[in-house]
């Protein structure tokens, strides 16, 4: 860990899920900044269209090279019990990369960590806020440390200036701990933030758990790695405490 980084006890984080050469530095900074929990509630967008609107994988194991992460079935079932929009479903997770990309970082900070994988394809603002409160209530019933992790990239395939301009609208809402505002500004400003719904849930849950601050650790775009400023993707990393 870089000597200037002070580890914090986070309630939630936001990290990107692009190719590691593009967004790995942002994600790595996020994970290296937090006190490693025993369980990560992983929430990401459903890019494939498979499975249900909100799909929770409640049992099994996820393999990465050199490690296996167990699903925290008790916490997963507790979330499902508390939220009517959640469905036990493996189909949505078969080809989805947004959560899978987080696993090497999780293994690095805690190779014995457990996970609760959740993908979100579609939900209303009210449903997302309710899911956040359900996640928070379930987390409160766990004695060991839990971090809620939202996986998202920011604007997609605009030029550098327009990407930064649009993303600032969303970043301002995350920094303000304003899940409702984030949902509305993404819709109003046509921001192609693929994981805005998981981030709304993470913010809602973090607030219910007593969060008071969302710290933007780093924002960048793919142009930093590619040199292409005409068609970029934005990446942001947050810790919420």
Distance of alpha carbon 189 from alpha carbon 194, whole angstroms: 14
Sign, CA dihedral 28-160-150-49, equals negative
Residue 154 located in a structural domain: yes
pLDDT by residue for the chain (241 residues), tens only, comes to: 455 568 999 999 999 999 999 999 999 999 999 999 999 999 999 999 999 999 999 999 999 999 999 999 999 999 999 999 999 999 999 999 999 999 999 999 999 999 999 999 999 999 999 999 999 999 999 999 999 999 999 999 999 999 999 999 999 999 999 999 999 999 999 999 999 999 999 999 999 999 999 999 999 999 999 999 999 999 999 999 9
Residue 168 located in a structural domain: yes
Structure tokens at 67: 């490690």
180-201 confidence digits (pLDDT tens) = 999 999 999 999 999 999 999 9
28-48 confidence digits (pLDDT tens) = 999 999 999 999 999 999 999
Identify the CATH number of the domain in which residue 18 sits. Answer: 3.40.830.10
Residue 3 located in a structural domain: no
Residue 4 located in a structural domain: no
Residue 166 located in a structural domain: yes
Residue 7 located in a structural domain: no
Nearest 5°: phi and psi at 75? -70, -40
Total structural domains within the chain: 1
Instruction: With beta carbons less than 8 A apart as the criterion, state whether 99 and 119 touch.
Output: yes
Residue 2 located in a structural domain: no
Tell me what percent of the residues of the chain surpass a pLDDT of 70. Answer: 98
Q: Which domain holds residue 49?
A: 12-240
Residue 6 located in a structural domain: no
Instruction: With beta carbons less than 8 A apart as the criterion, state whether 98 and 24 touch.
Output: no
């Amino acid at each position: 860990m870089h000597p200037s980084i002070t580890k914090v006890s986070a309630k939630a984080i936001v990290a990107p899920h692009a190719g590691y050469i593009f967004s790995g530095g942002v994600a790595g900074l996020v994970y290296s900044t937090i006190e490693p929990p025993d369980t990560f509630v992983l929430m990401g967008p459903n890019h494939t269209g498979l499975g249900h609107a909100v799909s929770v994988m409640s049992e099994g194991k996820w393999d990465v090279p050199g490690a296996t992460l167990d699903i925290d079935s008790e916490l997963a079932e507790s979330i499902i019990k508390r939220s009517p929009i959640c469905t036990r479903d493996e189909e949505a997770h078969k080809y989805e990369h947004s959560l899978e990309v987080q696993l090497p970082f999780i293994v690095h900070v805690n190779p014995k960590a457990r996970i609760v994988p959740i993908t979100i394809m579609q939900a209303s603002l009210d449903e997302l806020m309710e899911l956040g409160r359900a996640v928070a209530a379930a987390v409160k019933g766990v004695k060991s440390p839990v971090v809620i992790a939202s996986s998202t990239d920011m604007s997609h395939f605009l030029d550098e200036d327009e990407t930064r301009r649009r993303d600032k609208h969303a970043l301002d809402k995350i920094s303000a701990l304003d899940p409702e505002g984030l949902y509305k500004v993404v819709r109003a400003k046509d921001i192609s933030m693929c994981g805005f719904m998981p981030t709304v849930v993470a913010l809602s849950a973090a607030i219910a758990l007593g969060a008071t601050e969302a710290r933007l650790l780093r924002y960048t775009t793919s142009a930093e790695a590619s040199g292409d400023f005409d068609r970029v993707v934005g990446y942001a990393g947050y810790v919420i405490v």
